[in-house]
Amino acid sequence: MTTTETTAIKGGEFLIRDTHASEIFTPEDFNEEQKMIRQQCEDFLAKEVWPKLDEIDSMKNPRLMPEILDKAGELGLLGTSVPQELGGFGMDFNTSMLVAEVLGAGHSVAVAVSAHTGIGTLPILYYGNDAQKQKYIPKLASGEWKAAYCLTEPDSGSDANSGKTKAVLSKDGKHYLITGQKMWITNGGFADIYVVFAKIDNDKNLTGFIVERSFGGITMNEEEKKMGIKGSSTRQIFFNDCPVPVENMLSERENGFKIAVNILNIGRIKLGVAAIGGSKATLSKAINYAKERKQFGTSIANFGAIKYKLAESAVKIYASESAHYRASQNIDDAYNAFIAGGMESGKARLKALEEFAIECAILKVHGSEVLDYVTDEGVQVYGGMGFSAEGPMDRAYRDARINRIFEGTNEINRLLTIDMLLKRAMKGTLDLMGPAMAVQKELMGIPDFGAGEEEGLFVKEKKALANLKKAGLMAAGAAVQKFMMKLSDEQEILMNLADMLIEGYVAESVLLRVEKLIQQRGEKACEIEKEMAIIYLHEAIEKAASAGKSAVTSFAEGDELRLMLLGLKRFTKIETYNLKNARRKVADYMIEKGKYPF
Ligand SMILES: Cc1cc2nc3c(=O)[nH]c(=O)nc-3n(C[C@H](O)[C@H](O)[C@H](O)COP(=O)(O)OP(=O)(O)OC[C@H]3O[C@@H](n4cnc5c(N)ncnc54)[C@H](O)[C@@H]3O)c2cc1C
């Protein structure tokens, strides 16, 4: 994909744009260097993390986690996205996604690494001035210093800008004295550097500060007792007149909320891909257990009910992975285009991420919900052993759950996807009105019965996908017309619309990935992948139909409702396919390979 081609792709545009398979990046496109990095991450987990999971979760040795981070630092895993001149490896976003994916199978260590490299380091990398970057980034990239991010407070969670922590300029004008309580701070117990958000005097908005533990005035509670990720340090931190030199303010006064939001945005897509890494590891375990466990004289992997769970898990993982790397390449391409236009690197990275903020929110939701599905079914495949604290599913199940809560809860991210999309439409960045009007017009016209006559790869599926998008546009357009500015009060409808959007994006991504794969390897070599794409599309359409129905029936009545229900039926129609057989093929292939093999 060339830069000129990709600069044309805008965030959120997938809803109204036909993307070609050649335009998307797929995990099959990773080069040799990236594959080596993947291997290095796998080796790190196998040597430093998996044998120590119980010890890590016991929290008996508070030095263990920082020591593991030191090892990750020695291997260069903490500096992949840091520029070379600041002590990192200056790799592209896609490569840092790959690292996040593989390390995502590292349970509490995955959380510690991602908090350090993401929300801990990136505010300084992207918003710090030169002196701040020179002072902090090399030590963070090497792991010599560990970082934490202090935004949440007891009374300020999802409503992050409402924090009460205060920063007051000292009499001599040299320091800000920070006072307040932060909560749920990952890496809090051992971090050397805290990125802290506080309000100066009576400001409306937050300001960011780089706070060194050694500044003093910092105390903390004991480690939180949590349902999962027990080995990840999570503390309440108290700042008591903590003196922060004025030169440690990040960016400008009152720019903190913007920093916090933009940094969480990067974290979202990384969290999504890490969840996919965790899902793959969990599914591989479930496949092996299903092969080994015998009941009624045969391996449970021979039962259709078990094959269904294994196949469904694989389909969701494969589809989500396709969408993650599609988006991350879009981000890299947008970055390259900004750089080519003369923009500074940090700014270009942020602008590129901001452009694809809708996709980042979608992927956070999808990745974390795939992980929950896979771990839940993993427990089920293991049966009683799944419920045993001695088995591997116990930790996987408990650790998975947090992903729907942090980096913006999935409710907040669903709301954001639609909010951002509508804002882009209102600003004129995305022409949603034109396509939405066209759908309304089509609804009044005679249905097109000509589908399915053309020959070729995924012709019917692509038609069904285009219709799925129309269903979304129809429901969203009608809701906007009905509620106008009051739509934000109708959260149930917004959740439905978000689900339609999410399913459309992921279904398109997996279809395009498999189409590209078939172009590269031939249809015969991609038989299983093709089944997976078709299964996902069918399920996506079913979900969109249900979400769409739920949305329109909550605000339309009479003829208008009848017309929209007819429209939904028309736009979510797909020729029947034997999904049971398709799932069996996927499951049998994985059972033969003894792992998630794609
Ligand atoms: C283990 C762990 C580690 C964490 N690490 C960090 C960290 O390192 N740094 C940091 O700053 N924070 C961290 N957090 C905090 C985390 O980001 C917050 O928990 C999260 O943002 C949700 O805030 P809350 O817990 O206050 O929930 P609330 O905001 O009280 O939400 C409760 C429920 O209400 C819903 N809700 C809230 N507002 C709305 C709305 N407007 N519309 C619809 N539904 C809504 C939520 O979706 C949720 O279901 C961590 C949390 C945990 C549990």
Mean pLDDT of 367-395: 97
Measured from the CB, is residue 261 less than 6 Å from ligand 1?
A: no
Rounded Cα distance, 70 and 76, in Å: 10
- pLDDT band of residue 9 (cuts 50, 70, 90) is confident
Taking the centre of ligand 1 as the mean of its atom positions, its distance from the CA of residue 143, in whole angstroms, is 27
What pLDDT sits at residue 475? 96
Q: Whose CA is nearest to atom 50 of ligand 1?
A: 184
Taking the centre of ligand 1 as the mean of its atom positions, its distance from the CA of residue 121, in whole angstroms, is 21
What pLDDT sits at residue 496? 98
For the CA of 412, the closest atom of ligand 1 is 47
Q: Whose CA is nearest to atom 24 of ligand 1?
A: 157
Rounded Cα distance, 91 and 82, in Å: 7
Rounded Cα distance, 116 and 82, in Å: 12
On the question of pLDDT at 5 being above 50, the answer is no
Rounded Cα distance, 163 and 595, in Å: 46
Mean pLDDT of 590-594: 98
Q: How far is CA 461 from CA 57, 319, 336, 540, 554, in A?
A: 46, 15, 33, 12, 29
Measured from the CB, is residue 406 less than 6 Å from ligand 1?
A: yes
pLDDT, tens digit (0-9, with 9 covering 90-100), for 501-550:
999 999 999 999 999 999 999 999 999 999 999 999 999 999 999 999 99
Measured from the CB, is residue 490 less than 6 Å from ligand 1?
A: no
CATH code of the region 3-11+26-146:
1.10.540.10
Mean pLDDT of 234-255: 98
CATH code of the region 432-593:
1.20.140.10
pTM above 0.95, yes or no: yes
Neighbours of 256 (CB within 10 A): 31
Rounded Cα distance, 151 and 198, in Å: 8
Taking the centre of ligand 1 as the mean of its atom positions, its distance from the CA of residue 400, in whole angstroms, is 16
For the CA of 159, the closest atom of ligand 1 is 29
Residues sharing a CB contact under 8 Å with residue 363, sequence separation 6 or more, in sequence order: 268, 269, 272, 273, 320, 323, 324, 327
Taking the centre of ligand 1 as the mean of its atom positions, its distance from the CA of residue 156, in whole angstroms, is 8
Task: Please say whether the beta carbons of 204 and 158 come within 8 A.
Answer: no
Tokens 């066209």 sit on residue: 438
> What angle (nearest 5°) sits at the alpha carbon of residue 274, between those of residues 273 and 277?
90
For the CA of 150, the closest atom of ligand 1 is 11
Measured from the CB, is residue 108 less than 6 Å from ligand 1?
A: no
Taking the centre of ligand 1 as the mean of its atom positions, its distance from the CA of residue 233, in whole angstroms, is 17
What pLDDT sits at residue 185? 98
Mean pLDDT of 296-321: 98
> What angle (nearest 5°) sits at the alpha carbon of residue 318, between those of residues 455 and 504?
60
Task: For the domain made up of 149-254, give the CATH fold.
Answer: Butyryl-CoA Dehydrogenase, subunit A; domain 2 (2.40.110)
Probe target for ligand 1 pocket from 184, 197, 206, 401, with the most ligand atoms within 8 Å of CB = 184
Q: Where in the chain is the domain with CATH 2.40.110.10?
A: 149-254
Measured from the CB, is residue 509 less than 6 Å from ligand 1?
A: no
Single-letter residue type at 532? M
What pLDDT sits at residue 4? 37
> In the annotation, is 454 catalytic?
no
Q: Whose CA is nearest to atom 2 of ligand 1?
A: 184
On the question of pLDDT at 308 being above 70, the answer is yes
Structural tokens at position 404: 């729907």
Probe target for ligand 1 pocket from 159, 399, 406, with the most ligand atoms within 8 Å of CB = 406
- pLDDT band of residue 374 (cuts 50, 70, 90) is very high
pLDDT, tens digit (0-9, with 9 covering 90-100), for 139-149:
999 999 999 99
On the question of pLDDT at 452 being above 70, the answer is no
- pLDDT band of residue 445 (cuts 50, 70, 90) is confident
Q: Which helix (H) or strand (E) holds 181?
A: strand 175-186
Task: Please say whether the beta carbons of 468 and 51 come within 8 A.
Answer: no
Q: What percent of the chain has pLDDT over 90?
A: 94
Taking the centre of ligand 1 as the mean of its atom positions, its distance from the CA of residue 408, in whole angstroms, is 6
Measured from the CB, is residue 505 less than 6 Å from ligand 1?
A: no
Mean pLDDT of 376-389: 98
Measured from the CB, is residue 411 less than 6 Å from ligand 1?
A: yes
Q: Whose CA is nearest to atom 40 of ligand 1?
A: 412
Taking the centre of ligand 1 as the mean of its atom positions, its distance from the CA of residue 294, in whole angstroms, is 42
What pLDDT sits at residue 6? 43
Taking the centre of ligand 1 as the mean of its atom positions, its distance from the CA of residue 383, in whole angstroms, is 32
Rounded Cα distance, 469 and 501, in Å: 8
Structural tokens at position 511: 């279809």
Mean pLDDT of 479-486: 93
- pLDDT band of residue 1 (cuts 50, 70, 90) is very low
For the CA of 187, the closest atom of ligand 1 is 8
Mean pLDDT of 25-48: 97
pLDDT, tens digit (0-9, with 9 covering 90-100), for 155-205:
999 999 999 999 999 999 999 999 999 999 999 999 999 999 999 999 999
Measured from the CB, is residue 157 less than 6 Å from ligand 1?
A: yes
On the question of pLDDT at 450 being above 70, the answer is no
On the question of pLDDT at 209 being above 80, the answer is yes
Q: For residue 339, which of 331, 349, 326, 329 has the smallest C-alpha distance?
A: 349
On the question of pLDDT at 316 being above 60, the answer is yes
CA 269 to the chain's CA centroid = 3
Rounded Cα distance, 372 and 157, in Å: 22
Residues sharing a CB contact under 8 Å with residue 401, sequence separation 6 or more, in sequence order: 227, 228, 372
Q: Whose CA is nearest to atom 52 of ligand 1?
A: 184
For the CA of 409, the closest atom of ligand 1 is 47
Q: Where in the chain is the domain with CATH 1.20.140.10?
A: 257-412, 432-593
What pLDDT sits at residue 455? 75
Rounded Cα distance, 102 and 57, in Å: 20
Measured from the CB, is residue 158 less than 6 Å from ligand 1?
A: yes
Taking the centre of ligand 1 as the mean of its atom positions, its distance from the CA of residue 292, in whole angstroms, is 40
Structural tokens at position 504: 């459309």
Structural tokens at position 297: 């004289």
- State in words which class domain 257-412 has: mainly alpha
407, 503, 515, 531: the catalytic one is 407
- pLDDT band of residue 443 (cuts 50, 70, 90) is confident
- The mean pLDDT of the chain is 95
For the CA of 232, the closest atom of ligand 1 is 1
Mean pLDDT of 578-583: 98
Measured from the CB, is residue 234 less than 6 Å from ligand 1?
A: yes
On the question of pLDDT at 451 being above 70, the answer is no
Measured from the CB, is residue 156 less than 6 Å from ligand 1?
A: no
Taking the centre of ligand 1 as the mean of its atom positions, its distance from the CA of residue 268, in whole angstroms, is 14
Taking the centre of ligand 1 as the mean of its atom positions, its distance from the CA of residue 420, in whole angstroms, is 20
**Both ends of the chain: CA-CA distance in Å?**
23
Rounded Cα distance, 18 and 22, in Å: 12
For the CA of 411, the closest atom of ligand 1 is 47
Measured from the CB, is residue 206 less than 6 Å from ligand 1?
A: no
For the CA of 410, the closest atom of ligand 1 is 47
